[in-house]
Amino acid sequence: MPLTSIIPSLHKARAGAYAVPQFEIFEPSGCEDVIRALEEKRAPAMLGVFSKWFDKPHSHALHAAVRELGARAGVPVSLILDHGSSVEQCLRAIDAGYTDVMYDGSTLPFEENLEHTRRVVEAAHRAGVGVEAELGHVGSGADYQAYGAQRKGFTDPAHAAQFASETGVDVLAIAIGNAHGAYAGDPLLDCALLEEIARRIPIPLSLHGGSGLPEQQFRQAITRGIAKVNIATDLVRSIAEAMAGAAHTAQPSFFKMFDALHDTMHAKCCHYLDLFGTSGRA
């Protein structure tokens, strides 16, 4: 089936108390492993392209590979721009055939973030494209003890309700103690805050910084309103370790390293699809 917006799948996920993963991708061969996992598990998912990767030369080749692979898959597959850095970049992603875009204005003043997001939503919805935005600010795992652990950047529930209502955004990424990258220290999500945000707004909620969270915290967040979880750091770290292991042998081989990449990407995707309850939902 052709690539499709993930928004309908996210509404089903929120209603069914499971979550749909977004797997970050960086090159075409890894996309095959994600799609293979989705088909085996009969699960929907998003393939995310980070904003800086989107602007690299020849990134259109990655977009084309995802479109071709997704068209051959029998499950819902979305191609989403991750952390779009500007309204203009989101518009370019829409023109490039992305089925969903994330605009990240989380470091801007509230009103400016709201207005920029509204502009993206208006253009995206005309094209049948879904939009995710971020309110509050999800910091870096490396700074977790000084930032997220101190409740800095947390999403305000009243602001979240206003933001969702006035922008018409489809998905909202929130900050509740989560962080991008590897956590420095033990992460702890504020599930009471999550419940309050979920009570105030009906749209699916997104959790960035999934790598490194304990499985129990994933389950708690998903049952309280998280319908989308981003996974990137765990993928690249696990793949790097597997490839390094394949290289440091008595007879190192490029092909064994490549096999390690494919096997690890596939296994990790299957793990998260099972953990989030996505398997069998396509």
Q: What are 214-241's pLDDT values in tens digits? A: 899 899 999 999 999 999 999 999 999 9
Q: Which two tokens stand for residue 6?
A: 């993930």
User: Which range among 4-13, 186-195, 262-271 shows the weakest confidence by mean pLDDT?
Assistant: 186-195
Q: pLDDT digits over 45-60, tens only?
A: 999 999 999 999 888 8
Looking at the chain, the whole-number percentage of residues with pLDDT higher than 90 is 74
- Give dist(CA 210, CA 146) in Å, integer: 19
Q: Which residues pair with 130 in a beta bridge?
A: 100
Mean pLDDT, residues 121-137: 97
Question: Does 140 have pLDDT greater than 70?
Answer: no
Residue 280 lies in a domain: no
- Give dist(CA 224, CA 208) in Å, integer: 15
Residue 228 lies in a domain: yes
Residue 2 lies in a domain: no
Q: Which amino acid appears at position 277 of this protein?
A: G
Residue 145 lies in a domain: yes
Question: Does 23 have pLDDT greater than 50?
Answer: yes
Q: Tell me, what CATH number does 197's domain have?
A: 3.20.20.70
Residue 256 lies in a domain: yes
Residue 262 lies in a domain: yes
Q: pLDDT digits over 144-157, tens only?
A: 554 545 566 789 99
| Catalytic residue set | 82
Number of domains within the chain: 1
Residue 1 lies in a domain: no
Q: What is the pLDDT of residue 131?
A: 99
Residue 25 lies in a domain: yes
The boundaries of the domain holding residue 20 are 7-275
| Cβ-contact 6, 76 below 8 angstroms | yes
Q: What is the pLDDT of residue 248?
A: 87
Give the relative orientation of helices 157-167 and 191-200 as an angle to the nearest 10 degrees.
Answer: 40
Q: What is the 3-state secondary structure (H, E, C) of the chain?
A: CCCCCCHHHHHHHHHHCCCEEEEECCCHHHHHHHHHHHHHHCCCEEEEEEHHHHCCCCHHHHHHHHHHHHHHCCCCEEEEEEEECCHHHHHHHHHCCCCEEEECCCCCCHHHHHHHHHHHHHHHHHCCCEEEEEECCCCEHHHCCCCHHHCCCCCCHHHHHHHHHHHCCCEEEECCCCCECCCCCCCCCCHHHHHHHHHHCCCCEEECCCCCCCHHHHHHHHHCCEEEEEECHHHHHHHHHHHHHHHCCCCCCHHHHHHHHHHHHHHHHHHHHHHCCCCCCC
Question: Which residues make Cβ contacts (< 8 Å) with residue 58, sequence separation at least 6?
Answer: none
